[in-house]
Amino acid sequence: MKLQIPFVVKCAMGFVALFVAFAIFGQWLSPYEFRETSLLNRLKPPGTEGYILGTDARGRDVLVRLAVGAQITLIVAIVGTVIGAMLGSLLGIIAAAKRGWTENAIVAAIDVQASLPIIVVALFVLAMFDNSFTLFLLLIGLTGWEVYARLMRGAVLSAKEHGYVTAVRALGASPARIYLGHILPNVASIALVQFTINLPLTILLETALSFLGLGVQPPLTSLGQMMSEGRDRLLTAWWLTLFPGTIIFLLALSVSLIGDWLRDHLDPTLKSR
């Protein structure tokens, strides 16, 4: 079967690739270091000699800060989403496999998690404990797991009823063989699609928390934190918010588009038999 990728999805994939490349190699595009201040060159607009995208209120190069911010955002988004996806999928599969009170406990935990206002909880935790990057990552990772858990539980429960699972059980296969060899490959695509749906949400959560000053702490920076710093100068220094904002917007949109396409593509009911 030949893979047909729509033009929009190709663009989205291109942008994501560009973003990743920028996050990794972007720092070499600028001669400056991201913490390097130059008070003589404060708030220079884009296009100024030596500063392609201008400087911020302390005379730091916006280009290099964008590259570092992209890197941090990327790490937070991927690590955070992966933690949630792994934990949630695992709990969902355990719930479906074990049934009984294990399942009831996990389902109860899912309901609790789903009803917590996550930003408020994050504010509380980050305010109570010392704000560290690890804690921040963990916190972001622990949000969103319940979606995977609920999805995987349902998918595994229905996969268990399939004839091939019964047949393989009758062959004498161990539970490990049944779950890892037969059920998991058939439900993994569901988690994968959910991953692409959650990734932009994680990016936005990181942005929101950093914007509130509870995320990544200076001197380190992220796209959200850069926006928060530019907040006071929206009218006088528009470039401080426009560049990180545009990147966040395009990234979230691109990943959503790819996820949408993946969901349609991997859905077996949409494929001709």
Partner 1 sequence: MTILSINNLSVGLPDGGDRDLAVEGVTFSVGKGETLCLVGESGSGKSVVAQAVMGMLPLQLPVKSGNIEFMGAPLPAQRDPAYLAMRSVRMAMIFQDAGASLDPLQRVGDQLEEIALVHGIDRATRKKMVADILDAVHLPDPKKLARAYPHQLSGGQAQRVVIAAALLLNPELLIADEPTTALDVTTQAEILELIEELRRDRGTAVLFITHDFGVVSDIADRVVVMRKGEVVESGEAAPLLRNPQHPYTRTLLAAATSRAAPRDAVDKSAVMTAQNICLTYKSGGPFNRREVEAVKDVSLTLHKGRTTAVVGESGSGKSSFARCLLRLEDVTSGTLTFEGRDITHLEGAEMQALRKRIQVVLQDPFGALNPRRTIGSAIAEGPIIHGATRADARAKAENLLEMVGLTPQAYDRHPHEFSGGQRQRICIARALALDPDVLIADESVSALDVSIQAQVLALFRDLQQRLGFTMLFITHDLRVAAAIADDLLVMQNGRAVEYGNAAEIFANPSQDYTKALLAAAPGQDLTAVSAA
Token pair in block for residue 188: 């993994």
Residue selected from 162, 175, 219, 231 as contacting partner 1 according to rule CB under 8 A:
162
Q: Of 189, 191, 227, whose CA–CA distance to 208 is shortest?
A: 227
Instruction: Report, in Å, the least distance between residue 198 CB and partner 1.
Output: 24
Strand, helix or coil at 1? coil
- Cα distances (Å, whole numbers) of residue 188 to 101, 122, 192, 216: 25, 29, 6, 32
Contact status: 182 vs partner 1 (CB under 8 A)? yes
Answer left, alpha or beta for residue 99, where phi above 0 means left and psi between -120 and 50 means alpha: left
Binding status of residue 100 toward partner 1 by CB under 8 A? no
Question: Which listed residue (2, 49, 117, 268) binds partner 1 by CB under 8 A?
Answer: 268
- Give the shortest CB-102-to-partner 1 separation in angstroms: 14
Single out the segment in contact with partner 1 by CB under 8 A; choices: 51-59, 177-185, 199-207, 238-246. Answer: 177-185
Per DSSP, 217 falls in state P
Element of type H or E holding 100: helix 100-115
Residue (3 or 40) nearer to partner 1, CB: 3
Task: Look at residues 233, 181, 206, 183 and name the one whose alpha carbon lies nearest to residue 69.
Answer: 206
State yes or no: residue 249 binds partner 1 (CB under 8 A): no
* Residue 130 or 161 having the CB closest to partner 1: 161
Smallest distance from partner 1 to CB 170, Å: 5
- Residue 47 is classified by DSSP as T
From residue 183 to residue 212, what is the string marking binding to partner 1 with x (rule CB under 8 A)? --xx--------------------------
**168 contacts partner 1 (rule: CB under 8 A):** yes
Rg (CA), the chain: 22
- The residues binding partner 1 (CB under 8 A) are 104, 162-164, 166-174, 177, 182, 185-186, 268, 273
